[in-house]
Chain A
Amino acid sequence: MTVLQAARPRDLPALKELLAACGPEVHFIAGGTDMLVAPHEVAREGWLIDISRTAGLEGVRREGNKLWIGATTTLSGLMSSPLIRDHAPVLAEAADLCGSAQIRNRATIGGNVANASPAGDLLPVLKCLVARFQVLGQDGIIRERSFDDTVGRLPAAALIIGVVVPIHAPAPRMAFVKLGVRDDLTIARLNLVMGAHVGADVRLRGVSIFAGALAPRPLRLPSVETVLEGASLQALPVDEYLAALLSAVDAAIPGRASQGYKRRAIMGLGLDLLEKLTGRKDLAS
């Protein structure tokens, strides 16, 4: 006999009230696109709280020099948001490469972060964007947490209610690339995101690069960043860049069965990334 109780709090105050009363066994569901994948079992005990239509947890708005993204904003919602397209287009681009249209219509940014899959497509992008997270505790207090304190490290019964992304002026160039077994509806075998400014001298500055699906959480690649920092767009150190990417794979997953193909894959993906960011189309030659 099931003892699971379900609830659909209508707004944030109702959610806080429920959390305060429902004990430690709490499970949240929004899109359900990870939780309900067979053969996973939905919890049999405690509370199952559907936040997918809880008022106040959805949407995108500008707050000064930051974007606030509600946790239940779907991936389709990210793609169609004018604010996201203006200030964090790389996030919309990554969302468009997640799952299928059906998945994107249900899957949420908060769920992607809370699920903390090593292959989560939004995670390296959010890390590169220096996103922070508003997390509601069972005590009813909302605390802002860093990426590293949130992804894979959420306290029990804690809920991400919002994602905060800084808006930079001038905006850096950013690019995202993903490799899977097919073009659509595919779990990333590897993904890469890069951000950089291009100065008046046409050189890359403030380069940041993260890889997904190469470690439990997005992995920063400082040795690759060093190679590109200050490089002229007209004379990019492509060979050194690819060698640094290859070394990063060797350092991240030595001896793993996937090391062989990821060594090759990261070079092709890395070229795609650099071409996308710089607008150069001739780097492979």
Chain B
Amino acid sequence: MQISLVINGVARIDDVDPHLRLSTYLRETRGLTGLKEGCKEGECGACTVLVDGKAVNSCLMLAFQADGVTITTIEGLVSADGQASPLQQAFVTNGAVQCGYCTPGMVMAAEALLRDNPDPDDAAIRHALAGNLCRCTGYQPIIATVREEARRRAASS
């Protein structure tokens, strides 16, 4: 089935099998391997992308359902000259990354939160990131990073 969509600002047209998950399509057809297929049941959040600006588990959406949508993956946050976004850089600076497997999904969930709620308190951050599991960091550096990035955006706006 044909789909026409925009991925990280670039229009794409592809033929997809009706069974193909969006996560698999993005990784294998489009080569966007930042997102990870961790659990394929919406538990780990490692496959999180933005679909029309909202965070979704791309493992729980079929590729053919993405016809007409706009998708942003972790690769889409990087600037045209290859610089990591301030949020991505804050994850690195604050030690909010260890093994890194969860990080792309965590960053995308955080990005969705900050676009929707520019001034989240810790409870809102935890609630928004509850769908993203991290085995390494203990979450504290991640929450601190999101809080810090919210402050940075407020100061620069």
A interface vs B, CB < 8 Å?
A: 2, 4-6, 8, 29, 31-33, 36-38, 42, 48, 50, 52-53, 76, 99-103, 105-106, 183-185
Q: List the 3 shortest-distance A-B pairs measured between CB atoms, nearest first.
A: A100-B131, A184-B130, A6-B18
Listed by A's residue number, 16 A-B pairs whose Cβ atoms lie within 8 Å are A2-B17, A32-B61, A33-B57, A36-B59, A38-B39, A42-B18, A42-B19, A50-B64, A50-B65, A52-B65, A102-B57, A102-B131, A106-B60, A106-B61, A183-B130, A184-B127
A185-B18 in contact given A33-B60, A103-B42 (Cβ < 8 Å): no
Across the interface, which residues of B come within 8 angstroms of A8, CB to CB?
64-65, 67
Across the interface, which residues of B come within 8 angstroms of A53, CB to CB?
68
Interface centre among B1, B17, B65, B131 (most CB of A within 10 A): B65
**A6 CB contact (under 8 Å) in B42, B54, B64:** B64
A32 with B131: CB separation less than 8 A: no
Closest chain A CB from B53 CB (angstroms): 10
A32-B130 in contact given A2-B17, A102-B109 (Cβ < 8 Å): no
Across the interface, which residues of B come within 8 angstroms of A42, CB to CB?
18-19, 62
**A101 CB contact (under 8 Å) in B1, B40, B112:** B112
Closest chain B CB from A53 CB (angstroms): 7
The answer to the question of B55 belonging to the interface, with a C-beta cut-off of 8 Å to chain A, is yes
A152 to B9, CA, bound (A): 43
A105 to B68, CA, bound (A): 17
Across the interface, which residues of B come within 8 angstroms of A101, CB to CB?
55, 109, 112-113, 127-128, 130-131
The answer to the question of B87 belonging to the interface, with a C-beta cut-off of 8 Å to chain A, is no
Across the interface, which residues of A come within 8 angstroms of B113, CB to CB?
101
The answer to the question of B43 belonging to the interface, with a C-beta cut-off of 8 Å to chain A, is yes
**Which size class do B's interface residues fall under?**
20 to 34
The answer to the question of B21 belonging to the interface, with a C-beta cut-off of 8 Å to chain A, is yes
A262 to B116, CA, bound (A): 38
The answer to the question of B41 belonging to the interface, with a C-beta cut-off of 8 Å to chain A, is yes
The answer to the question of B45 belonging to the interface, with a C-beta cut-off of 8 Å to chain A, is yes
Across the interface, which residues of A come within 8 angstroms of B42, CB to CB?
33, 37, 99-100, 102-103
Across the interface, which residues of A come within 8 angstroms of B109, CB to CB?
101-102
Interface centre among B18, B43, B109 (most CB of A within 10 A): B18
Closest chain A CB from B3 CB (angstroms): 9
The answer to the question of B56 belonging to the interface, with a C-beta cut-off of 8 Å to chain A, is yes
A100 to B113, CA, bound (A): 12
The answer to the question of B88 belonging to the interface, with a C-beta cut-off of 8 Å to chain A, is no
Across the interface, which residues of A come within 8 angstroms of B131, CB to CB?
99-103, 184-185
A105 with B1: CB separation less than 8 A: no
Across the interface, which residues of B come within 8 angstroms of A105, CB to CB?
51, 54-56
The answer to the question of B48 belonging to the interface, with a C-beta cut-off of 8 Å to chain A, is yes
B61 with A36: CB separation less than 8 A: yes
A31-B130 in contact given A50-B65, A102-B55, A102-B109 (Cβ < 8 Å): no
Closest chain A CB from B48 CB (angstroms): 6
A101 to B64, CA, bound (A): 22
B65 with A32: CB separation less than 8 A: yes
A228 to B65, CA, bound (A): 48
Closest chain B CB from A247 CB (angstroms): 35
A48 to B1, CA, bound (A): 12
